[in-house]
Amino acid sequence: MTAGDTRRADLEARLRGLLGGLDTDAGFESRLMQRVATLAVAPREDLRAQFERRRELRRRRLRREVWMNGMTILGLGACAAGLLWRFAPDIQRLGADSASLVDPGLLAVGTLVAVGAAVWLLVKRADTARR
Amino acid sequence: MPADDAITELIQAGRAEAAFEQLVPAYRRRVFGLAYSVLRDRGAAEDVVQEVFVKLWQALPRYDGRAQLSTWIYAITRNAAISAMRKQRRSVSMSDPAVFEQVENRGAAPEAGPDDAALWQKVEALPVKQRQAVILYYQEDRPVEEVAVMMGLPVNTVKTHLHRARASLAAALGGAGEEVA
């Protein structure tokens, strides 16, 4: 072995000794796993918060719609009652005339169909809003 | 690398978490060595290693296996380390005495005894590519081929860097550099 070979072997051994221990600090992996675990949980929490927010918004919208529907029905009822009150004599006369012209049974069926259609429309609208 | 095949299989089976648990111990030292060889600062290198693994954690489910796993990881590491170095350069002012002292002191390797301090300073003073080649080669006695993949350079170029680095170190330490090759 020449002097050059010896020097080279010595240098290489020193470099191995110097650089061989180059590594992260102890506990690096556990710190990394902790950080990654927080990353994994965060999106799930975000999704849950988003879901809760949307559910709350939908609940508020439904409450508002129920209130609006109630007010509409009350308003229409009040108008109808007012009209009935105002034109009661005319209606009474018209009813008497109609009864003489139309079969009372047919009139009752027609009225029931009209009320049923109105109720069905209201129920359908409420169902669509709930979805 | 055999571990790469197992990790890739886990990813393709949709088990990215299990793949990540195998990937961290398999690549921790190599990623740290590569980051350190660029940054020459333990704290900054460790920050980069964290960033790299967090990026890998997020990107792993989308890894399609077209590129070699190691090549992909080393490319992410090199980019992260270079970005960190640029940030350091922007934020660091050498006119600040505290910063200057920190840079002066960071030269010592953690395991370096007093006899090795001179060698460490010589390694630090090498040109960037030579220093990188030396650190990555001697950190774990890696084959030159792997060091080449880590550095993203051809094998012969890495051999040349190593050859020149050894010669410079030997010459600087008082030996006949031209004989050490």
Q: How far is A120 from chain B (nearest CA, A)?
A: 50
Nearest neighbour of B139 by CB, restricted to A22, A25, A29: A22
Inter-chain residue contact A22 with B180, CB threshold 8 Å? no
Q: At a CB cut-off of 8 Å and minimum separation 6, what does B27 contact?
A: B70, B73
Cβ B174 vs Cβ B96: under 8 Å: no
ipTM over 0.85: no
Q: What is the pTM of this model?
A: 0.63
Contacts with B, A 3-32, CB within 8 Å: 3-4, 7-8, 11-12, 14-25, 28-29, 31-32
pLDDT of residue B175: 54
Which of B26, B52, A75 minimizes the C-alpha distance to B44?
A: B52
- Cβ contact, residue pair A11, B54, below 8 Å: no
Residues 159-178 on B with a CB inside 8 Å of A are 166, 169-170, 173, 175-176
Under an 8 A CB cutoff, do B24 and A32 touch? yes
Q: What is the least distance, in Å, from the CA of A67 to any CA of chain B?
A: 47
pLDDT band at B17 (very low <50, low <70, confident <90, very high): confident
Checking if the pLDDT of B101 tops 50, the result is no
Distance of alpha carbon A118 from the chain centroid: 28
> Could you say which of B36, B116, B170 has the minimum Cβ distance to residue A18?
B116
Task: Give the tens place of pLDDT for each residue, B66-83.
Answer: 888 999 999 999 999 999
Q: Spell out the domains of chain B, with CATH numbers in brackets.
A: 1-96 (1.10.1740.10), 107-181 (1.10.10.10)
Residue B177: its pLDDT value, please?
43
Residue B175: left (phi > 0), alpha (psi -120 to 50), or beta? beta
Average pLDDT over residues B119-134: 90
Q: Any idea what DSSP says for residue B64? A: -
Say which range, A25-34, A36-45, B20-29, B130-139, has the weakest mean pLDDT.
Answer: A36-45
Q: Which two tokens stand for residue B131?
A: 């220093």
User: Model confidence over B132-178: pLDDT tens digits?
Assistant: 999 999 998 899 999 999 999 999 999 999 999 999 998 887 754 44
